[in-house]
Amino acid sequence: MTIEATGATATGNAVSVAGLSAVTIAAAIGQIDVAVLLGAFAGSVVFVMSAKEYHWIMRLGYLLAGTVISYLSAPWTAGLLALTSVTVAAIINGVLCIAVLNGLIEKGRSGKALSAIIDILQALRK
């Protein structure tokens, strides 16, 4: 099977295949809640498939980072929002964490990441 990475559809398919393969392998070999992992993956895919302006390698990195962050923070989000399903929390995290990561990367490029984090934390204290 050959995946041609010249068109947007082929690139999206390559990212999807690589991401889904990584999720499948992680679920098969680890002590992982598969439903929560797939929820985190699904939430992250929403951003990755719509971000055509990024190179496919960068989108794959976003997909993997978003899935891991979403999976690990899903129980906390479920408790915070009083959700009965950790899978729903993982989907919400998957969509939101990519936006947060993208915002932090943009602030980091301009040299304002630390000040942005401090401003957010100060706003939460009020």
* Helices of type H across 2-126: 8-29, 34-50, 56-80, 86-109, 113-125
Record the tokens describing residue 80, joined without a space.
């915070």
Q: What pLDDT sits at residue 59?
A: 81
Residue ranges covered by each domain of the chain: 8-125
Q: What pLDDT sits at residue 3?
A: 43
Q: What pLDDT sits at residue 2?
A: 42
> pLDDT > 90: what percent of the chain?
2
Q: What pLDDT sits at residue 94?
A: 85
Average pLDDT, the chain: 77
The most confident of the ranges 33-37, 90-94, 106-110 is 90-94
Q: What pLDDT sits at residue 1?
A: 43
Nearest Cα to Cα of residue 101 among 74, 77, 65: 65
